[in-house]
Structures are given as structure tokens and as C-alpha cells.
Structure 1
Amino acid sequence: MLLLGMVGVIWSLAALPSFWRVMPARELSTRILLDDRFKPGGLSRVLAPMEQQPAPFFVPHELARAEALIRLRLAEEAIERASSEDADREVVLTLKSVRSSLSLDPTDSFLWLMLYSVETTRNGFDRNNVSYLDRSYALAPREAWIALRRNKLALAIFPELSEPVQAKVTSEFAGMVDGDFIDDAALNLKTGGWLHRDRLLASLEQVNVIQRKALAKRLVGDGLKVRVPGVETDERLWR
């Protein structure tokens, strides 16, 4: 009993710093996923002490996920600045952080998506990386906040996906329209989904007619002549 008690005390002392860091890490992750803006250099300042502190005895996956999400944002910002040297360095560090987080929590659908995205950004399309996208759909096929990033990436390689995954991508597109993400759905249809527009539009049969009309109006406004199921595209619709 004494030995077990001593083990419990030692474990608590080793793990406690990690637990105290989980709450702000979780809050930070939420802010990044909500696409909050940070002051210039703010995320780098947050990341610095995380890298300098020695690895704790017990590392909750929230900490690893927070670091991966910070790395993702920094890589995106470096790419936006068109700084190839900074972008290359950040992408390499991002891949390492994302893989580390997934090793602790392999059920993270968003990070599987980001692993596919970052690998594709770094090396171009590779058929071997499609399994990361497949894993993302298998874990969370109907997550609206993930769909806003995932659907356009999946439509860009639609023919490379298996039939079951294609069905999930199509259903995801319909879910975006039903969820009133009209601008995002229209953009996806006009770009990567254009070659597959008949199948995507057919998937809207069960979508609320208000959202179907909104999508039809948006597409007509963009000069596209398509048939949205159950929507009459005469001039009265646009008045």
C-alpha cells in the first residue's frame, strides 16, 4: 500500500504540470479552429516556451494537438507571405507535429485531413497520401466545420477516391448546402466539382428547398446554367 501510494504521489507530481497546461492549450486550439486572428508574432511567442520546456512525464494529446495547430497556422502564414524559405521550414516542422499528435490520438479527423493537405502542399499529389483523406472521412463523415476545408480538397481528386468515399464527399456537399454554407458550396461546385456537377447537384434532392433555391440563385448570378433539383430556373425566381 505504501509503495502504491508513493507511486501515485510521484505520478501526480510529474503529470500535474501537463494538466495545468491543458486548459489554455485547449482554448488556443479552439481559437485557431475558429480562424481567430492573432497579433503578429503572437503564436510564435506561445510556441517558444512549449518547445523549450522539457517533455513532461505525461503528455496529454491536447498539448500535442495545440502545437500541431499552431504549426499549421504558422505554415499557412508563411505560404501566404510567399516566403519559400520560411514556408519550407514551417511545413517540415508542421508535418512532424501533426504526426506526433496523431500518434497520441489517431481519431483526430481534422489532423488526418491536415496531414493530407500539408503533404500535398509540400510534395504535390501522391496517390499514397489519399489514405489520410480516407481516414478523415471514416472518422468524421459529417462534420460541418471540417467539411469547409475538406470538401474542396476531396473534389480536386474525386476520381482518385474509392466509390464509398466519393459517396461521402457527395453527401458532404449536400450537407454544406443544407447547412446554408451556400458560398462555399457554390465555389466548390464551380472549381473542383465542376466535372462532377451532375452527381453533386443530384445529391441535393433531400435538401431544404430554401437552400436549394439560394444555391441556384447564386449559380445563376455567377453566369452558370445548371439544374438544381426541384428549382425552376425561370426569371421569376430571381426577382
Structure 2
Amino acid sequence: MRQIIAENLPSARRQCGAKTMRELLLLQLAIADESIRSSNLKQADTDIEAVASSSRALLLCAPSEGLGWLGSYWAAIRQEGFGPRTSAFLGLSYQLAPHEAWLQLIRAPLALRVYRALPPELKTNAVEDFADIFKARLFPSAAAFYQAAAAGARADLLDRTCAAPEADRRLFQRYVTDKGLQLRHPCYQNDERPAYLKD
């Protein structure tokens, strides 16, 4: 993937090809995410800076590109932690791409991890990302978001599912319990009997 980026990024920047730059930024995010999980901290720092650089380049060509602002948030939160600057990047991603499912799948877990630190508007946006994914019946992703969410976010997420059909809530609950979690919420029945007593 690094070779694909190296071969294509210079021309995409010269031509201001937003579509190509968006695709290359997604590759760069995947590379950086993988290097963060490895033990090579020097490579991780290099890859995080590459995400920041690619995001800036995309935004120079397409300032309304929600992925560019999300990439800036992703890199900045790793370089400097959560603060007003990183919050502003996340806010612009929400403002410019509020309901793009492919972007929500990347953004929601990032926002939900820092839920307590978010200002009220961004908390609402993060919960809305989750609600959109739930309504789209992408229950494995919704369950993963719930699992990754800060404890203080979980009740707010479940509140948004109460009006969903019972079949959808049961299916979501099964994905969550398969991850070893229980749903303690008025909209969900919690059957904690031993497995051998369940039908």
C-alpha cells in the first residue's frame, strides 16, 4: 500500500485530484492504524504525520471534504491529544459530511471513545452516527461501536434504539452479547440465566 501511495500521491497533489487523494488518504489511514498497533513507534510517528500531510493536501484542493477534516482529527488527536483544535476538526467533519455512511463507519468509533470530553453538539453528532448505522441495520458495526464507546456514552446510544422494531433490537442485542457484554437498559430484556437454562 505504501508503494501505491508513493506512486500516485505526487501527481494527485499536482492535479488537485480530490477523488484520488481521498482514496489515497483512506489507504494512508489504514497503514497508520496498522503501524500504531505494531511496536515500531518511529514508523507509527512517520505514518501519523503522513495522514496529517495527506489530509492537509486534500483540504487544500477540497476544503469541504469531510474525510480531510476527519483525517486531520485522527492525526492531531494522536500527536497532541484531545483539545479545542482537534474538537474543531471533528466538528468540521460532522458539519460537512453528517450522514455519509462510509465515513460514519470510520468516525463514530473515534468520537465515541472520547465521548465524555466532547462538547454537547459533538456528543449529539456522535450518537447520530450510531443511530444512522443502527437504522441501516448494520448491526455488527453498531455492536462494535457500542463495545468501543466510553461507558458514559452507552445509555445515550441505547436510548436512540428504543423506537426500533423489536426484531432489530433483539438482533443488535445478540451481536452485543456475543462480544461478552450485557445490555442494561429499559428498552432491552436482560436474560442473565446460565446458558443451559435458556431455550
Query: Normalising by structure 1, what TM-score?
Result: 0.68
Which residue matches 2:185? 227
Unaligned runs of 5+ in 2: none
Structure 1 pair 146–208 and aligned structure 2 pair: CA distance change class (3 A): farther
1:191 & 1:63 partners in 2: Cα distance? 30
Aligned with residue 186 of structure 1, among 131, 134, 143: 143
Alignment of 1:64-83 (within 5 A): 64-83=21-40
Is the partner of 1:207 in helix, strand or coil?
Answer: coil
Unmatched tracts of structure 1, length 5 or more: 1-42
Hey, what's the Cα distance between the residues in 2 that align with 1:94 and 1:168?
A: 23
The amino acid that maps onto 2:159 is A
Per-residue deviation at 1:100? 1.0
213-222 or 131-140: bigger deviation: 213-222
Residue 159 of structure 1 corresponds to which residue in structure 2?
Answer: 116
2:17 aligns with one of 44, 60, 81: 60
Report whether the alignment pairs 1:116 with 2:70: no
- Equivalent residues of 1:64, 1:97 under 8 A apart: yes
Shift of 1:52: 6.6
Give the letter for the 2:143 counterpart: A
Whether the 8 Å CA contact 2:12–2:20 is kept in 1: the answer is: no
Deviations 1:76-114 (A, max 9, x none): 333233212222222222211210111111221122112
Q: What is the number of residues matched between the two proteins?
A: 193
In structure 2, distance between residues paired with 1:204 and 1:159: 20
| SS of structure 1 residue aligned to 2:162 | helix
SS in 2 for 1:132: helix
Q: Which of 156, 161, 165 is the aligned partner of 1:204?
A: 161
TM-score under structure 2 length normalisation: 0.80
CA RMSD of aligned residues (A): 2.7
